[in-house]
Structures are given as structure tokens and as C-alpha cells.
Amino acid sequence: MSEKTHSSRLSAYKNAGQGTTDLRRKRAELSVALRKQARDEQLLKRRALSPEAGEEVQEEEVKVYTTSEIVQGLRSKDLPTMTAAARAARRMLSKEQNPPISTMVAAGVIGPLVQALERDDCSDLQFEAAWALTNIASGTHEHTMAVVDGGAIPKLVALLARGGVVGEQSAWALGNIAGDGPQTRDSVLAHGALAVLLPLMTCTTPASQLRTAVWTYSNFCRNKNPLVKFEYVSPALPYIADLLEIPDQDVLADACWALSYLTDGPNERIEAVQMTPHLLPRIVKLLNHTSAAVRTPALRAIGNMLT
């Protein structure tokens, strides 16, 4: 599609006095923010802190485990023992400062945590294991690959399909894995993650789960060299179009980031985004949002359509 076609389609949705020239001007006005992408863009990975992080916890309330005790407990056949060990692993990995991810990986914690994801007879154990794996995957590339090589992706996708708090935590883990790079992103998508994520990407989904789902989807869309296969992520475009009208700033920001990634590519992708019913006028409207966290990715997406 030519630049003229892009511009005319965008101009059809302009506000009074806000045509292509004004859109370009708005883009220029935010150029400083756009150049500071590392600061302004939503995070590649997110680590989940424990509720008690930063708070004093009485010693008798929480047993202090060593790394070896955690691994031993996870390998136990006793469910309460396994759950307590998984919770201890999660707490250790949820420290605000310097979580011992490398130490835990070296101790062999990933294998038992991945196996724990299969324990459908104990959702608490699955939740704690998914949370611990989320935080391991929030680390370096090597940490993320250890989770992938441990076989976590298909088990996390299966839990995502079940929804609820375990499904939300699994979505978070998959978002961290996908955010590591094109290889892990494509692996997550090849396991069918989008199909089971889509039911969470609706206006009726509880706010926390919806935010996690849209952030995870944005990581499905990001990373270049190579770009994500468009057929892997395009089924979500009608869902994104619907979500552009809800008042949740976090959802709007991550939805716009997803669109900015999808429009940073060949004209065929840009045209598919533009042709999604209701999407274009809604993202243009977000140029006037009160938050720069929403305006910045919206402007970037529209700028991609104009160039």
C-alpha cells in the first residue's frame, strides 16, 4: 500500500483540523519520548513480587528454606510438602533486590517446578510453581532458556486454557518467555498460546487478568529479525479493537504497543491492521488521551502507518 493510501485512510478519521500534517506534528512533538524507548516502553519482562515483599514477616510465620531443602521438598511425593517448597521457591525468587535466580537454576529447581504444573489435584501447587517459573523467566536469556528447555511452555499453555488465577499466572510466565526474543516468542505461539489467551482478552475479563493478557499479547507481537508470523497474532486484532474503548490505562497502553509492533513491518500487515473494523478511528482518538503512556504507543502505531 502506498503512503498516499495510508494517509487518506487515516485522514478519514481525523478530528476537525487534525489531518496528516497534524499527526506528523504530534509525532515530532513526542520524538524525545520515542527516542527513550528503553525508559518509556512497557517492560520486556516482569517479575512478580510476593505480597509480603518489602514488609516484615514474623519469623514463626514463614519457615526459611535453603535451596537444597526447596529442591528436596519439590521432589517429595507429599503434596503439602511440595506446595510448601514451591511457595518457598516463589518467595525466594520474589525478592525485590538480587533474587537468587542463577543459584536456584543451578540447584535443579526447574525440573520439579515444571512437573508440579501437571498436578491438577492441587491448584495451589500449580499456582506457586507457575509463579516461581515466571520469575525465573524474568531473568537473563540463559534463565529463560532453562525454563523453555525444561519443557514448561506446553504445560503453561495448558494451564492458561483453564483460566482463573493459575491461568493468569501462566499467561504472565508465557509473556516473559515470549519477551525474551523471536525464538522463544515463536515457540510459545507454535504451542497454540494465542488461541487460549483470546478468551481473556475481552471487556468482561477481571481487570488484573485482562491487563496480564494484553501485556502478554504485546510480547507475542514484538521483536524483529524475524518478525512474528502475522497469522500467529492477527486473530487477536478484533479483540484489540474492542479493548481500545475501555478506560483502563494499562490495557490501552499495551494494546497500542502491540499495534505499534504489528505496524512496524510490510505494507500488507499495516493494511490488515487498518482494515480491522473500528480499530483505526479508536486508536486515532487515543492521540488525545490524558496519559502519555497511552499517547506514545498510539502515536508510534499511527506513525508507522504513515511512513
Domain CATH for 181: 1.25.10.10
Q: What is the pLDDT of residue 3?
A: 47
Q: Is residue 109 part of a domain?
A: yes
Q: What is the pLDDT of residue 51?
A: 62
**Angle 135-67-128 from CA coordinates, rounded to 5°:** 40
Q: Is residue 90 part of a domain?
A: yes
Q: Is residue 219 part of a domain?
A: no
Which DSSP string do the residues of 136-191 spell out, in sequence order? Answer: HHTS-HHHHHHHHHTTHHHHHHHHHTT-HHHHHHHHHHHHHHHTT-HHHHHHHHHT
Q: Is residue 238 part of a domain?
A: no
Rounded distance between C-alpha atoms, residue 10 and residue 287, angstroms: 13
What domain range includes position 51? 45-152+162-186
Helix, coil or strand: residue 216: helix
Rounded distance between C-alpha atoms, residue 286 and residue 255, angstroms: 11
Q: Is residue 172 part of a domain?
A: yes
Amino acid letter, residue 221: C
Rounded distance between C-alpha atoms, residue 63 and residue 82, angstroms: 14
Q: Is residue 98 part of a domain?
A: yes
- Do 223 and 182 form a contact (C-beta atoms < 8 A)? yes
Reference 103, options 61, 58, 71; nearest CA is 71
Total number of domains in the chain:
1
Which DSSP string do the residues of 221-249 spell out, in sequence order? Answer: H---SSPPPHHHHGGGHHHHHHHTTSS-H
Q: What is the mean pLDDT of each run of 10 residues along the chain (307 residues)?
A: 49 43 44 37 71 45 85 97 97 90 98 98 97 97 98 99 96 97 98 98 96 98 95 98 98 98 96 97 98 97 92
Torsion sign over Cα 195, 196, 200, 203: positive
Residue 140 φ then ψ, to 5°? -75, 175
Q: Is residue 80 part of a domain?
A: yes
Q: What is the pLDDT of residue 47?
A: 78
Rounded distance between C-alpha atoms, residue 105 and residue 107, angstroms: 5
Reference 6, options 284, 244, 232; nearest CA is 284
- Do 88 and 63 form a contact (C-beta atoms < 8 A)? yes
Task: Give this prediction's pTM.
Answer: 0.85
Rounded distance between C-alpha atoms, residue 119 and residue 81, angstroms: 13
Q: Is residue 242 part of a domain?
A: no
Question: Which residue's C-alpha cell is 482494515?
Answer: 275
Question: Which residue's C-alpha cell is 490505562?
Answer: 249
Torsion angle of alpha carbons 67, 70, 72, 77, nearest 10°?
A: -170
Which 8-state DSSP code applies to residue 51?
A: T
Rounded distance between C-alpha atoms, residue 6 and residue 289, angstroms: 23
